[in-house]
A and B are shown apart, each in its own frame.
Chain A
Amino acid sequence: AQTVTQSQPEMSVQEAETVTLSCTYDTSESNYYLFWYKQPPSRQMILVIRQEAYKQQNATENRFSVNFQKAAKSFSLKISDSQLGDTAMYFCAFRTSGSRLTFGEGTQLTVNP
């Protein structure tokens, strides 16, 4: 079975600081993609960043970057220079060659002024 684990139900960070959200997954597939989604209070699901499993280089999107450790099956999200608008629920997910995405339970991030 494919699983995604986000071990931090809640986290907080001061504005302008850096925070890392952890995610581990389990799959026997070798070809897959990993995603981080953000869900702000509006509850709209927004894609933050994605990573191809066959690429060793970590993906980066502006202030968001990932630390992908394939052997450890770890996919953490780093948010630099945190902003108040980053306050949201963050979901880690991965997709294999099938059509389904498997989601973690989410981490609620609060950015404090």
Chain B
Amino acid sequence: SQTIHQWPATLVQPVGSPLSLECTVEGTSNPNLYWYRQAAGRGLQLLFYSVGIGQISSEVPQNLSASRPQDRQFILSSKKLLLSDSGFYLCAWISTGTVHSPLHFGNGTRLTVT
């Protein structure tokens, strides 16, 4: 069965510090991978998605970047965090080629920038 792991679950970082959130998927190959951010009580904002190794599409200009060094690994990074980077970050994957496949989410990372 397919599983998605996202860590850490909670993170408190000072302004100006670097960030690295990691997401891995097991039990599937060549998934499409996504990073979403969610402000409190709000909807999901798509930050990045990837259709393959080294292929990253950015949806909004921001202080963050993403990388996909391996087929089932997706990393969200920042060199210097801003207060506005605080939020709830969700990694997700989807099977390619089938429209009916739903998006499968990790458990999320709650990031607080102080």
Query: Does A35 touch B at the CB level, under 8 Å?
Result: yes
Among A33, A47, A89, the residue within 8 A (CB) of B99 is: A33
Chain B nearest CB: distance from A97 CB in Å? 6
Number of interface residues of A (CB under 8 A): 24
Q: Considering the complex, which residues of chain A in the window 21-60 have a beta carbon less than 8 Å from any beta carbon of chain B?
A: 31-33, 35, 43-45, 47, 50, 52
- The reply to whether the CB of B24 lies closer than 8 angstroms to some CB of chain A is no
Nearest chain B CB to A88 CB, angstrom units? 12
When distances are taken between beta carbons in the complex, the residues of chain B under 8 Å from A95 are: 94, 99, 101, 103
Q: Does B43 count as interface, using CB distance less than 8 angstroms?
A: yes
Which residues of the other chain, A, contact B41 by a CB distance below 8 angstroms?
A: 89, 108
Instruction: Closest B residue to A10 by CB, please name it.
Output: B41
Known: A43-B88, A44-B105, A45-B90. A103 touches B99 (CB 8 A): no
Closest B residue to A108 by beta carbon equals B41
B51 touching A47, Cβ below 8 Å: no
Contacts A33-B100, A97-B99, A100-B46 hold; do A45 and B32 have CB atoms under 8 A apart? no
- Contact (Cβ within 8 A) B103 A31: no
Give the chain A neighbours of B44 by CB distance below 8 A.
91, 103
Specify which of A52, A101, A106 is in contact with B103 (CB 8 Å cutoff). Answer: A101
Interface: A80 (CB within 8 A): no
Distance (whole angstroms) from the CB of A25 to the closest CB of chain B: 14
Chain A residue nearest to B103 (CB atoms) is A101
A residues less than 8 Å from B32 (CB atoms): 99
Asked whether B27 is an interface residue with its Cβ less than 8 Å from the other chain, the reply is no
A106-B42 in contact given A43-B88, A44-B108, A99-B94 (Cβ < 8 Å): yes
In angstroms, Cα B38 to Cα A45, docked, is: 12
15 A-B pairs within 8 Å (CB atoms) are namely A32-B99, A33-B102, A35-B102, A35-B103, A44-B108, A45-B90, A47-B104, A50-B100, A52-B100, A91-B43, A95-B99, A99-B49, A104-B43, A106-B43, A108-B41
